[in-house]
Homo-oligomer: A and B are copies of this chain.
Amino acid sequence: MDRKYFDIATDIAWCPGCGNFGIRNIMLDAMVELGLSKDKLCFVSGIGQAAKAPHYYDVSYFNGLHGRALPVASGIKAANPDIKLIVESGDGDMYGEGGNHFIHTIRRNPDITVIVHNNMVYGLTKGQASPTTQKGMKTPIQTEGVNSIPLNPVALAITMGATFVARGAAGDKEKTKEIIKAAIMHKGFALVDIFQACVSFNKVNTHKWYKENIVIIPDTHPKDDKVKALSLAFSESPWPLGIFYEVNGFKTFEDSLPVYEHSHEPLYKRTRNMDILREIMNQKK
């Protein structure tokens, strides 16, 4: 099995030089190295440049509405708990339009890997601020510079109770691949926020900037300490890269559903025993 297994020959609609290509490469390698099988794998995305990613793998996918990848993914999990589910989308999609789903999906803890291409900008709509855009950056809308406090996805996910929270970078292939692999193998909600340069619209957070502003999280960091993880998450310039927080053994959304108590058989394979209707109606007599 090699990269060709997931690679697909197609016109990729990203700009030349974009960090998205790096992430795609890392994903292809990570999936192959994990030996994922296409018939047990599904991608979900929203809308944006990053959200086109599933089109560029040879996989099943649901490319839905802007901001709505997570509820779709949760619905898929609810219907078929054994599908490996990867959500891949952009920062605007996930933390902006999709913010409410982000915080509440974490609370549910479905077994989903969420890969966010964080270019700190709205790429597809041509350069407006995203929730992660840093203060002061000027855009066609934020003509005087961004005023809002940037959203810190790592800190937010940890606070909400996500069981695996990490940061990667498109430019740091090896480290990021390992993080993604760990995220995919993690049972429960796993966030990997990936720094990615948008060469067309983000002239602040460039490939160079990312390279210079990243520091690898030391192995000594206690990954199961929420407060320490948060404290690390708040540190900026340099921005830590690696796994901030990881706890295991938490029940997933799908495992807490009574329908999967005895079997993980997907719902579409099941047939209702219609006697239940008779029974209910008898109660109503």
Contacts and interface: CB of A to CB of B under 8 A. Distances in A.
Contacts of A107: 131, 148-151
Given A99-B100, A100-B99, A227-B234, A151 B147 contact: no
Nearest to A233: B159
A76 interface: no
Contact of A151 (B144, B149, B160, B226): B160
Contacts of A160: 149, 151, 156
Count copies of this chain in the complex.
2
A103 B99 contact: yes
Interface residues of A, number: 31
Contacts of A234: 226-227
Q: A interface, by DSSP: helix, strand, loop or mixed?
A: helix
Listed residue (A107, A156, A159, A161) with the most chain B CB atoms within 10 angstroms of its CB: A159
A258 B161 CA distance: 38
Contacts of A226: 234
Contacts of A227: 227, 230-231, 234
The 4 closest A-B pairs by CB, nearest first: A100-B100, A149-B161, A99-B100, A147-B256
30 contacts: A96-B104, A99-B99, A99-B100, A99-B104, A100-B100, A103-B103, A103-B151, A104-B151, A106-B149, A107-B131, A107-B148, A107-B149, A107-B150, A107-B151, A108-B148, A109-B148, A109-B149, A144-B258, A147-B251, A147-B253, A147-B256, A149-B160, A149-B161, A152-B159, A156-B156, A156-B159, A159-B230, A226-B234, A227-B227, A227-B231
Interface of A: 96, 99-100, 103-104, 106-109, 131, 144, 147-152, 155-156, 159-161, 226-227, 230-231, 234, 251, 253, 256, 258
Given A149-B161, A226-B234, 18 more contacts: A99-B100, A100-B100, A103-B103, A103-B151, A107-B131, A107-B148, A108-B148, A147-B253, A147-B256, A152-B159, A155-B159, A156-B159, A156-B160, A159-B159, A159-B230, A227-B230, A227-B231, A230-B230
